[in-house]
Amino acid sequence: MAKIAVAAVADKFRSQVLARGDGWTVSDVVCRSGPDDRPFEEQHANFSIAVVAAGTFEYRSAAGRELMTPGSLMLGSAGQSFECGHEHGVGDRCIAFWYAPAYFERLAGISPPAVAARYNGITDSRRTAAVQRYLAENEPMHYSMLRTSVVPTILTAGFRMNVIPSQAEATIDIRMAPGEDQTAFFDQMQRVIGDPAVKVERLTDGERPPTPPSRLDTEMFRALETVSKRVYPGSVTLPTMLTGATDMAFLRAKGMQSYGIGSASSDADRTNFGAHSDVERLLESSLYTFVRFTWESVMEVSASK
């Protein structure tokens, strides 16, 4: 009976890798189980952060029991057991971010103790709510990495102070997490608005093609690591996910390995004087060092040719 149950679950479960890097994987996970199927138990092999994109299911672990619906965030620790059931409907879809324990260990190893404890707390079901609130208020870049962000940037309505507008328009900047189901996302947005008079139109200008991340075993990446240690003594090269757009996406789509680099900045500068903000700024001293870093990185590669 156990083998039959496992085979039945496997037949209704599909996981497709969307992107992967050193110590992390992003996957599109689809389950087609329904009310007639028995709840099944699994175990997190790695630290995981999953966003429910469609469908509903019951999630039970030692931390408690919840009904997961589109937009819900599911966190898991390596080795943690959990159970999923589909009493309320058939099928669900999640975008799962899986991180090897070594990734968090490395991130914690280059952070002060209090900061390291906070990053490790992201996957702790007892602490994650408080950590997420802290990130939202103090580290918006890290907070944005964990989810699709929605920010209204342009509001247009009316032409005179004493005239009620006949129409209004809001332009919203949406930064989608890798693998987000765009059709399901916009359908959910329309349901949340809940007004048939409000029309959601997708703007396609400025979009970038979805691409896998650049490899970390190339000559160029090794050169960046070498020069980083030389120009910024004591630094550690840690790949990260950009929460904005980059023209490198077009190069990656053609199979070219591309790496983004930039000048050094403090956490306070990134939070208070970030890119595209109304107070964007750059320390003059960091610019000079960055020019040197760029020059030496190019020479590190070209000298070996």
**Torsion sign (Cα): 80, 86, 87, 89:** positive
CA nearest to 12, candidates 76, 85, 77, 67:
85
Residue 83: strand pairing partners: 41, 60
Q: What is the pLDDT of residue 177?
A: 75
214 assigned to some structural domain: no
Tell me, yes or no, whether 13 and 84 share the same domain: yes
Q: Give kind and range of the element (H or E) at residue 157.
A: strand 149-157
Q: What is the pLDDT of residues 175-197, one digit of tens each?
A: 887 767 778 888 888 888 899 89
296 assigned to some structural domain: yes
CA nearest to 236, candidates 103, 92, 77, 110:
110
Tell me, yes or no, whether 110 and 127 share the same domain: yes
Segment-wise mean pLDDT, segments of 10 residues, the chain, 305 residues = 35 74 78 81 72 87 82 75 81 82 65 83 78 86 82 92 93 81 84 90 81 82 92 84 83 88 80 79 88 94 77
Q: What is the pLDDT of residue 6?
A: 35
CATH code: domain of residue 47: 2.60.120.10
Q: What is the pLDDT of residue 161?
A: 92
Alpha helices by DSSP H, 12-127: 101-109, 113-120
Full residue range of the structural domain in which residue 89 is found: 9-99
Tell me, yes or no, whether 54 and 89 share the same domain: yes
Q: What is the pLDDT of residues 43-99, one digit of tens each?
A: 666 678 888 888 888 888 777 788 888 888 887 776 567 788 888 788 888 888 877
Whether 118 contacts 142, CB under 8 Å: no
Task: Please tell me the total count of domains within the chain.
Answer: 4
